[in-house]
Amino acid sequence: MYISISRTTCFQEASRQLAYIAAQSSPSQPDAAEPIPLFPEESDEPLLQQFWEAACREADILLSRYRVGPCQGNTCHQYAVTLHMPPAFDPGLAPMLSGLLYAFFTAFLVAAYARTVLPERAHSLEIVALHQQQRLRDALHLRRLPIRRPPVF
């Protein structure tokens, strides 16, 4: 099973979520809450790259048991991994696994960026990231139940 997560797509989704969080932070002044850009300036690119690499390392740890071959995840533009799942793993769950990995990356980036920009909300966003991590871990351990058929005489 091959999974690829785009850095740009994750950053765009994280930026949308951060804009929503910023808008909710000041409901009394709706015009004052400008979206928090996740691509503010070129000077922030090393910080964003550091967040991306940390998310890749966390995903590598989560997927290490099932990963085939060397780690391909620490590229600048995407996280790509090939997984060898046990025979009892339902192949129909592959899209769900990909979606959960994407949600984990997005939540991780939001929490990491919030530690810098919105420290008052960082704790709750870190809990969301941990929840996504647990959901991904649970999905990795899902297995099909064997079908028991009565013996034929």
User: DSSP readout, 22-44?
Assistant: HHHH-TT-TTT-----SS--GGG
C-beta separation of 16 from 105 below 8 A: no
For the question of whether the overall pTM of this predicted structure is more than 0.85, the answer is no
Per-residue pLDDT reduced to its tens digit, 78-95: 888 888 988 888 888 889
Per-residue pLDDT reduced to its tens digit, 116-147: 877 888 898 999 999 999 999 999 988 877 77
pLDDT of residue 30: 52
Q: Which of 37-41, 51-55, 76-80 has the lowest mean pLDDT?
A: 37-41
Task: Give, in order, the Cα–Cα distances in Å from 1 to each of 93, 102, 112.
Answer: 11, 15, 29
Whether 149 is covered by a domain: the verdict is no
Whether 116 is covered by a domain: the verdict is yes
pLDDT of residue 120: 82
Whether 119 is covered by a domain: the verdict is yes
Whether 127 is covered by a domain: the verdict is yes
Whether 152 is covered by a domain: the verdict is no
Is it the case that residue 38 has pLDDT exceeding 50? no
Whether 103 is covered by a domain: the verdict is yes
Domain hosting 88: range is 2-25+36-140
Closest-CA residue to 82 (of 66, 103, 62): 66
Whether 153 is covered by a domain: the verdict is no
Is it the case that residue 12 has pLDDT exceeding 70? yes
Q: Residue 67, SS3?
A: strand
The count of domains in the chain is 1
Q: How confident is the model at residue 115 (pLDDT cuts 50, 70, 90)?
A: confident
* Comparison of pLDDT for 11 and 102, the residue scoring more: 102
Residues pairing with 80 in the sheet: 4
